[in-house]
Structure formats: structure tokens, C-alpha cells
Amino acid sequence: MNELAITVIGRDRPGIVADVAEVLSRLGANLTDSTMTRLGGHFAMTLICVGPAAAEVEAALAPLAAEGRLLATVRAVTPDGETALRGEPYVMAVHGADRMGIVAAMTRVLADFGGNVTDLSTRLTGALYVVVAEVDLPPGVAGELAGRLERVAAELGVEVTLRPADPDLL
Amino acid sequence: MSGEVQGPEAGRADGEYAGLGDWTPEALGVAGAVRPVVAAPHPVLSRAGETVDPTSAETVRLAADLIATMRVSPGCVGLAAPQVGVSARVFAVDVTGHPKAVTVHGTFVLCNATVVEATRWKAGREGCMSVPDLTGDVKRASRLVVEGELPGTGAPVRLVTDGFEARALQHEIDHCAGLLFLDRVAGAHAVYQRKVYL
């Protein structure tokens, strides 16, 4: 079984997901994990699929791309096995006036503390820039990390909060 | 479905309801057995449970088994009959000692429970033994009134609770209706890989 990483991006319109998913389904490519979201007027899909060869999927998506509506890439990737997610889940939220380097500076602080970002999205709306990240932290570092994040955020002129995202197990 | 306030059991007068009184699991009079917990996509989890006769021997045994299974499952604060493969409106809850719990009614089992009042909705992230690899953000009422019947006597019960116990009750009542937290997640980005705690 081939594992494929597929990205598709195009001008947002109704039916993009259906068009791409139909192509994959006809080829017997099983859509596993994916995110599909609208980014600044573009619709962006990042998909992991299991099934046919990369070339076959690329060829099948080509007609959609040929009309200039979508840009698609297909790459074979090596499954990384069942790596368990470890750590304490936190959510970091940053907001403030847009400027260069906010994501770079804040995620560097997370990385310095051994934090692993598992999900991150950014939004720019008017002058307001927003970053929300899910991050797994090694035990016991949250307090010191929060202090460092606040200092770096102050230098950037943005606000930051770090809060636990521990689920209630029912 | 979501947040719908359901009426009390038909034909029962308001004054007939009472609290749990001094009910304890010992009142069931049988020792529970630990049953295997089923995981999604098992079809029993997506089927509305049958209304039960709370006084039947079968329901009493099920109640005892739910408590026994809940007690051997680490971190488990509630377990519904569909989670042990039985399509029935019976669940056990015990949030005793949980750091987020405010009102605590101890260990109890309710049959045929319905939500009669649900207010002060709050988002929270929850996980489930039957969906072991995922968690999700779900809005639940933080003030809750539930009516049901005790296993054994069939005595009608009205519980008024809040916070974490209210969340647990809504989660279990959902199980009895064939609903998982996945049916109520807040949005496309509200389902997460469950983390393994160190």
C-alpha cells in the first residue's frame, strides 16, 4: 500500500471537496487524515491517502488542475508508524497588530522548551493577527514557558495566553 | 437533539420525585461483574437504548456490572450500558474526588433518565472510553436537572447538579440515546488526537 501526501489549493467555490474526493474514491485511494480549510479566499486541502501509486493520482487530478482552477501535488511518503503523542496538551493563543516574525518568534520559544506543535492556524483580518496553536509540552515546563512567551510577546507588542487543554475523560 | 429540554416521564406527578436518599451500590444486593467495554464504530453505540424495567433482575445485574466496570477503568467517571454492549437506558456515574467536580452525588445508577432542565452552556473538551484515540470540544449545560429511576426499587429520582457532574450525566444520557461526543463537536477543528499522558 502506498501512502500519499496530497495538497490541493484553488480559488474557493462550492464543489472542490466533492470533485477531489470523487477522483480519489474512483481510484480506490482511501482518504485517511486530512484538513481542508479556506485560507484567504483560497481553499486548501492537505490529505493523507492510502492506495494507488502517486503518478496515477497525479494523472487523475490533472484534469481539475488543467482548467487552472486547482493546483495539486502528490507525493509518496513513508508511514511513520504508530508514534504515540506524548506530553501535556496546551493551547497557545496570540493576538495583536500584524508584523513580521510573530509565528517564527513564538514557535521558537515553544521549540526551545521541547513543545511539539500538533495544530496551528493563523488569521489576518484587517490589522489584527491571530495565532492559535495546539502544543504538547513536556511535563512541568508550562509555568516557565508562559513567562518566556509573555516576554517575547511583549517585545512583539502582542498578547499571549497559554492554557491547558486537558480533556475530561467521561 | 442538542440542548433540547425533554419533558418528565409521562404520567408522573412532580411531587413523586426525590433525591438519591441514602442509595448506595450495596442496595443492588448483587456483586457486579466487569464487562468488556466496546469501542466505536461498534453499532450498539449508535443505537438508541431500550427503556428498561428498573426493578427487573436483569437491570439490577446490569447496574452492578456498570459500577464494577467503571471502578476498574482508570479515570472513568461514568459508564453507560451501550458501552458494555447492552442497548439499554442505564448508566453509572461517580465523579467523587474529581478536581473539577463541584456538586457530587457519589456513586449512582439511573435508569431511563432524561434531561428536564439544561442551562448555562459551556464549552469543554471531553474524551470517552469508547472513542479511545480522540477528544473533542463539546458544549454542555453546567446547570442540569435530570429525572430517572433507581435500579432495584424503581424509585423516581430528580437530581439537580452542575459543572463536571452535569457534563458526565449529559455524556452518559447521550450514550443511552445512541449519541457520542462526536455527534456534538463544536466544529471541523474541534476533534483532536488524544494524548498519552506521561
ipTM tops the 0.90 cut? no
SS (H, E, C) A72-130: EEEEEECCCCCCCCECEEEEEEEEEECCCCHHHHHHHHHHHCCCEEEEEEEEEECCEEE
A119/B76 CB distance under 8 A: no
Residues A8 and A59 in one domain: yes
Which domain, by its residues, includes A38? 2-77
Q: Let me know if residue A133 belongs to a domain.
A: yes
Q: Let me know if residue A82 belongs to a domain.
A: no
Q: Let me know if residue A118 belongs to a domain.
A: yes
Q: Let me know if residue A27 belongs to a domain.
A: yes
The pTM score is: 0.83
Residues A25 and A69 in one domain: yes
CA B50 to CA B63: how far, in whole Å? 15
Query: Known catalytic residues of B?
Result: 172
pLDDT (tens digit per residue) in A42-72:
999 999 999 999 999 999 999 988 777 789 9
CB count within 10 Å of CB A25 equals 12
Report residue B23 CA to chain centroid gap: 17
Residues A109 and A160 in one domain: yes
Q: Let me know if residue A169 belongs to a domain.
A: no
3-state secondary structure of B37: coil
Name which of B128, B193, B194 is nearest A170 (Cβ-Cβ): B128
Topology (CATH level 3) of domain B17-193: Peptide Deformylase (3.90.45)
Q: Which residue of A has its CA nearest to B75?
A: A169
Phi-psi region of A101 (alpha: psi -120 to 50; beta: other; left: phi over 0): left
CATH number at residue A39: 3.30.70.260
- Our count of domains for chain A comes to 2
CB–CB contacts below 8 A, A to B: 61
Mean pLDDT along residues B61-66 = 98
Q: Which residue of B has its CA nearest to A85?
A: B195
Which has the closest alpha carbon to B62: B27, B19, B22, B109?
A: B109
How many angstroms separate the Cα of B162 from the Cα of each of A122, B22, B26, B141, B169?
A: 35, 20, 26, 8, 10
A168/B125 CB distance under 8 A: yes
Residues A58 and A107 in one domain: no
The DSSP bridge pattern shows strands A168-169 and B108-128 to be parallel
Residues A8 and A40 in one domain: yes
A168/B188 CB distance under 8 A: no
Cα distance from A28 to chain B (closest Cα, Å)? 22
Which has the closest alpha carbon to B109: B39, B157, B51, B177?
A: B157
Q: Let me know if residue A83 belongs to a domain.
A: no
CA B103 to CA B110: how far, in whole Å? 17
Residues A72 and A108 in one domain: no
Residues A71 and A8 in one domain: yes
pLDDT (tens digit per residue) in B106-115:
999 999 999 9
Q: What confidence category does residue B194 fall into, taking pLDDT thresholds of 50, 70 and 90? A: confident
Residues A46 and A69 in one domain: yes
Q: What is the pLDDT of residue B6?
A: 45
- Chain B residues touching residue A134 (CB < 8 angstroms): 192
CB count within 10 Å of CB B18 equals 11
Q: What confidence category does residue B2 fall into, taking pLDDT thresholds of 50, 70 and 90? A: very low
Residues A73 and A7 in one domain: yes
Residues A111 and A137 in one domain: yes
Is B42 annotated in some ligand binding site?
Answer: no
pLDDT (tens digit per residue) in A110-148:
999 999 999 999 989 888 899 999 999 999 999 999 999
Q: Let me know if residue A132 belongs to a domain.
A: yes
Mean pLDDT along residues B127-152 = 95
Q: Are the CB atoms for A119 and A134 separated by under 8 Å?
A: yes
Q: What is the pLDDT of residue A69?
A: 77
Residues A104 and A156 in one domain: yes
Q: Let me know if residue A137 belongs to a domain.
A: yes
Residues A48 and A106 in one domain: no
